């Protein structure tokens, strides 16, 4: 019986330790994003950013915050356009999540 209790306790400790690795979420570096991207157009239904030397997945959290402020909506990537001056324009659409 002691072996079962010890094994169970060991299992619980190991599962808690490995779970914390996946719970880490880094806050985006908003100063870095602001230095490399700018808002081109915005409305309650969408937001358009122009950027260079940054990835679109680094801008996505900012778009998510924008859409969240516009009535609890979710930001969805609509399109990415490469411009002749090597800047990119990305459009995020703000849409309500379906309720189940």
pLDDT for 58: 92
Q: How confident is the model at residue 92 (pLDDT cuts 50, 70, 90)?
A: very high
Q: What is the pLDDT at residue 97?
A: 80
pLDDT tier at 81 (50, 70, 90 boundaries)? very high
Coil vs helix vs strand at 31? helix
All domains in the chain, ordered by first residue: 28-95 (3.30.1360)
Query: What global pTM score does this model have?
Result: 0.70
DSSP string of 54-87? S-HHHHHHHHHHHHHHTTS-EEEEEEEEE-TTS-
The mean per-residue pLDDT over the stretch 27-33 comes to: 87
């Amino acid at each position: 019986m002691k072996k079962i209790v010890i094994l169970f306790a060991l299992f619980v400790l190991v599962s808690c330790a490995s779970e914390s690795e996946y719970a880490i979420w880094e806050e985006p570096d908003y100063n870095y994003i602001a230095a490399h991207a700018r808002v081109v157009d915005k409305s309650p239904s969408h937001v358009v950013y122009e950027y260079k030397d940054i990835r679109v997945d680094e801008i996505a959290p900012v778009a998510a915050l924008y859409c969240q402020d516009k009535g609890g909506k979710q930001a969805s990537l609509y399109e990415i356009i490469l411009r002749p001056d090597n800047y990119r324009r990305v459009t995020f659409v703000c849409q309500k999540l379906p309720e189940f």
